[in-house]
Structure 1
Amino acid sequence: MGTFLKTLKLGMVAVAAMVGISAVSSAQILTVDDERVEREAAAYKDFNLQTNELRQSILQRRQMVTRGGAIEQQLADLEKRKAIIGNDKYEEEKRKLEQTYVRFQQELAQLEYVFDQLRQEAMVQVERARQPVIRSLLAERNAQVIMMKRLLLGSAAGIDVTTQFIEKLDAELPNVTLNLPKAGDAPAAEQPEQQ
């Protein structure tokens, strides 16, 4: 009797699996190229436009403080001039460059934090707008699933709805509203004094 129940249970599991597989195979799956959406959708373009100045400030500071960056080069130049300018002047200029380096590191951390906050604000807005777009496309195409194209190994023609997705997302969210820092709130992009 025990083996009969085990066989019956295995048979039921097999039938359930077959039903599940046939249900999935009959489901209509659509794909969206998320990378293309991020390049072409109006909300993403608007985010990039609004945060361009902030991104430039981050880039400038990274160029100053990264290994081999401008401050490191100025320290190397200062080291070469040490014998000419004397030890006292060398120590003073070195201390100023080190203070500038620390300041830029702090400003970089602050700017990156602000940028991450703005990106999160924008992503919340985009996600809210995406949901009705997804529901609309599923209903229009009588589909059950929309998958990101990069997760697929291959796909058949006619299941990519990226263009329609972008059009609907643009209509739903043409731009994002960001709480950008005011001009005085963000650190100004300064260059350290050239020696």
Structure 2
Amino acid sequence: MTFIKTLKLAVLGAITAAGLTVAATAQTFIIDNERVEKDAAAYKDFNLQTTDLRQNILQLRQYISRGGAAEQQMAELEKQKAIIGNDKYEEEKKKIEQTYVAAQQNLQAYEYLFDQVRQEALVQVERARQPVIRQILKDRKAQLILPKRLVLGSAPGLDVTTEFIELLDAELPSVTLTKLPPKQAPTTTPAPAQQ
């Protein structure tokens, strides 16, 4: 037991040490995805193309939110109830309620559209990312690239974010958003839902 087990343990220890040495010499790099999303041309192009859509979503959220324009209109109407009479009050209340419901429907439609457009852009970015990652792995003779958010710390020189952004910009300078409707002027009141 002693000699054979000792020999097996020694061989196992040597194999483990060799594996650790190989793992320690393996090149691992990191990419800061937050910086990529802020600085890469494709992301900037997406944000530019979806400005109107995001603005419409924001306006509608502000309109229907607690303390928003719809609630303020109802509060103002309540104050005028004694002055304008019951019939006029009910008529105006119904208009505000209809506008509120239309705003909710439009918000849902715009958010759904934004999700579709964002997904369309993400597919294009992901298709462009993969060859860029492979190119960096090949050029740097690396075995692994990790997102920066998963790394607790790293030595200087392991961050390849700038190189990644430059290569991604060359591969995909802009995104094509086929699901995005033509530009419209932003409105202050909710537009009717489009089907």
Give the deviation of 1:179 after TM superposition.
Answer: 1.2
Aligned 1:1-195 pairs, distance under 5 A = 20-183=19-182, 189-191=187-189
Deviations along 1:27-80, one digit per CA (max 9) or x if unpaired, are 111011101100110000110111111111111111101111101111011111
% identical equivalent positions: 61
Asked if the contact 1:107–1:187 (Cα under 8 Å) also holds between the matched residues in 2, the reply is: no
Give the deviation of 1:25 after TM superposition.
Answer: 2.1
Asked if the contact 2:55–2:186 (Cα under 8 Å) also holds between the matched residues in 1, the reply is: no
**Judging changes above 3 Å, is the alpha-carbon distance between structure 1 residues 64 and 132 closer, same or farther for their aligned structure 2 residues?**
same
Asked if the contact 2:117–2:180 (Cα under 8 Å) also holds between the matched residues in 1, the reply is: no
CA distance in 1, matches of 2:10, 2:155: 33
- Gapped regions of structure 2 (runs ≥ 5): 191-195
Of residues 78-87 and 157-166 in structure 1, the stretch that sits farther from structure 2 once superposed is 78-87
TM-score (norm 2): 0.86
Structure 1 stretches (4+) deviating beyond 4 angstroms? 10-20
**Judging changes above 3 Å, is the alpha-carbon distance between structure 1 residues 112 and 187 closer, same or farther for their aligned structure 2 residues?**
farther
Give the deviation of 1:150 after TM superposition.
Answer: 1.4
CA distance in 2, matches of 1:75, 1:153: 52
Deviations along 1:72-101, one digit per CA (max 9) or x if unpaired, are 111011111111111111111111101100
User: What is the identity, as a one-letter code, of the residue corresponding to 1:39?
Assistant: K
Count, aligned residues: 187
Give the deviation of 1:191 after TM superposition.
Answer: 1.8
User: What is the identity, as a one-letter code, of the residue corresponding to 2:178?
Assistant: N
RMSD: 2.6
TM-score (norm 1): 0.86
